Amino acid sequence: MKKVITYGTFDLLHYGHVNLLQRAKELGDYLIVAISTDEFNWNMKQKKCYFSYEERKRLVEAIRYVDLVIPEESWEQKVSDVKEFKVDTFVIGNDWEGKFDFLKDYCEVVYLPRTPEISTTQIKKDLQK
């Protein structure tokens, strides 16, 4: 079984997220999604989510491509996650191009093109108009 892992906030879930998750699943047989906790988002990304971790987890778990959701609580957990879950491939959007190349010592690293014209930030801006 080929295992794939990806990380993200997935707030205000949209088709850009789903496109990423669909392509991530195509890289293997089992997709793990590590969703940033509310604390991690606020402390490390200065992001205030609209949906709580539990709500974002519920939404992502409902996506057919996703097999397991785990919490992302720190930047440092990726190596231990890859080892613990025996992950073959780490994948993330290319807005992170090169940032996680250190994982190449442990698994394949794939950066996928982002879906253009959609982002949680843009949704929030558009709703304020």
Other CB atoms within 10 Å distance of the CB of residue 7: 21
Calculated CA dihedral for residues 89, 37, 45, 85, nearest 10 degrees: -20
Closer to ligand C2G by CB, 29 or 95: give it: 95
Strands ordered across the beta sheet of 3-8: 68-72, 30-36, 3-8, 89-93, 108-112
**Distance in Å, CB of 2 to ligand C2G, minimum:** 19
Q: Which of 2, 3, 25, 47 is catalytic?
A: 47
Is 47 labeled as catalytic in the residue annotation? Answer: yes
**Distance in Å, CB of 114 to ligand C2G, minimum:** 4
Q: Which of 2, 3, 25, 45 is catalytic?
A: 45
> Beta partners for 3?
30
Closer to ligand C2G by CB, 9 or 89: give it: 9
Where do contacts with ligand C2G occur on this chain (CB under 6 A)? 7-10, 16-17, 20, 36, 72, 92-93, 95, 114-115, 118-119
Query: Helix (H, G, I), strand (E, B), or coil: what is residue 117?
Result: coil
Q: What is the spatial distance between Cα 42 and Cα 119, in angstroms, rounded to a whole number?
A: 18
How many alpha carbons lie under 13 Å from residue 26 in its C-beta half-sphere? 8
Closer to ligand C2G by CB, 28 or 93: give it: 93
Is 45 labeled as catalytic in the residue annotation? Answer: yes
Closer to ligand C2G by CB, 79 or 119: give it: 119
When CB distances to ligand C2G are compared, the closest residue is: 93
Cite the active site residues.
45, 47
